[in-house]
Amino acid sequence: MSKRIYISPSNQSGNVYATGNTNEKEQCHKIARACVDYLEKAGFNVKCTYNDDMYERVRESNKFGADMHIAIHTNATSKHNVTGGTQILLYSINGEREKAGKAVLDALSPLTPGKRAERIIAKPDFYECNSTSALAVYCECEFHDTKEGSDFIINNTAAI
């Protein structure tokens, strides 16, 4: 039986990108569709619903019996001293969680233009990290509030 993966794209339409007249929700939904296509071709059983209710998406993931729950987001900072990069958020950094988070980070971070922020962070207070039955990987693909990061996300959906 193939592994079940639930893809949970961001619903944050208010997070406007630095370029492209777009937002986090629009771009993360594009990335989610590309992930679903890729993972299904690789033989995984994948589910993704594009509703705006994070709590409902977590319920759907749990009902689906997902082995892995992947939240797809893009990042921003109020400090504006971050040069971009990928961040992976996990409930805790150990065992299978760390292995899964590191696999996503190792695959994505070489593609992204930013390097400084690339890291795995424990976020046990994040709902999608603490409320899924599945192992949850919350992926902040790249920073969307920089021109370089925004352009990268918009132009590299399939690669992400």
pLDDT in tens, 49-63: 898 999 999 999 999
What b/e readout covers 106-120, taking b as 16+ CB neighbours within 10 angstroms? eebbeebbbeebbeb
Residue 116 has pLDDT above 70, yes or no: no
Of 126, 135, 129, 138, the C-alpha closest to 5 is 135
Supply the pLDDT for residue 35.
Answer: 97
Q: Does the pLDDT of residue 135 top 80, yes or no?
A: yes
Give the torsion sign (CA, 87, 88, 91, 94). negative
Q: How confident is the model at residue 36 (pLDDT cuts 50, 70, 90)?
A: very high
Average pLDDT, the chain: 93
The token pair at 60 is 């759907």
